[in-house]
Amino acid sequence: MIMGPLLTIVHVLAAVLLLGPVTVAVSQFQVQALKAHEGDTAAGGAARVLYRITQTYGMLSLLVPLVGFAIMFTGNYWHEGRFHTSLLLSIIGWALLLFVIMPRQKTMMGTLRLLPEDELTHDFQVADWKKAKSQLAMFGGTFSLLWVVTAILMMLPRIMGQFARVATSTSEKRHARTHARFLTQMRGI
């Protein structure tokens, strides 16, 4: 019985600690890479750090959907479509990161000659830097949006439960005030 809550803790911590840095890195990398292309050496250093964050934390972030899938076996989660949708969105997000964002970042880094020598396996080329920046920003934004939607889906019942409690509480208070007014009016008759 302790496995479910333990996996949930690992899942949430992995999402926060691994996806947070990746989301920031994919949103900032292309800005710094373009500045580096234009001659800003400090931006080159920033691009290198953001690239490494994306590479390292991006690979480790696979833990999030894997643990999420494992959680499905610890309780009665198979009947809730939000969990299936969340898993699907997180797999799409991770695939977008692995097969689109990371290779494009690597191409930019290779063109800038900022990759380690052992990774400079061929001649990297970026034909249009502004277009490459825009496309990478679009894919990074899509990646981030997928994770935001996934987080909302995971939290939706709790959020809706809070709204229901507030609405019920407000309704009960309103009913009590109306009842008190009615009793006051009845006493006056």
- Residue 157: pLDDT over 80: no
Indicate the pLDDT class of residue 52, thresholds 50, 70 and 90: very high
Average pLDDT of span 46-60: 96
Helix (H) or strand (E) holding 16: none
- Residue 164: pLDDT over 80: no
Q: 93 and 143 in contact (C-beta within 8 Å)?
A: yes
Tell me the torsion sign for CA atoms 84, 73, 156, 21: negative
Helix (H) or strand (E) holding 107: helix 102-111
**What gap in Å lies between CA 86 and CA 118, rounded to an integer?**
37
Contacts for 130 with CB less than 8 Å, ≥ 6 apart: 34
Q: Which amino acid is at 165?
A: R
Average pLDDT of span 70-89: 86
Structure tokens at 121: 């396996």
Least confident stretch, 9-18, 103-112, 130-139, 169-178: 169-178
**What gap in Å lies between CA 4 and CA 31, rounded to an integer?**
41
User: How high is the pLDDT of residue 189?
Assistant: 64
Q: Which amino acid is at 183?
A: L
End-to-end Cα separation, the chain, in angstroms: 61
User: How high is the pLDDT of residue 19?
Assistant: 92
Least confident stretch, 1-10, 108-117, 167-176: 167-176
Average pLDDT of span 33-60: 96
Q: What Rg value do the Cα atoms of the chain yield, rounded? A: 25
- Residue 176: pLDDT over 80: no
Q: 120 and 113 in contact (C-beta within 8 Å)?
A: yes
Could you report the per-residue pLDDT of 86-97, keeping only the tens digit for each?
889 998 999 999
- Residue 153: pLDDT over 80: yes
Average pLDDT of span 27-55: 96
Q: What share of residues in the chain are helix, strand, coil (percent, to 5)?
A: 85, 0, 15
Contacts for 13 with CB less than 8 Å, ≥ 6 apart: none
Mean pLDDT value across the chain: 87
User: How high is the pLDDT of residue 183?
Assistant: 65
Average pLDDT of span 155-163: 69
- Residue 171: pLDDT over 70: no
Contacts for 151 with CB less than 8 Å, ≥ 6 apart: 15
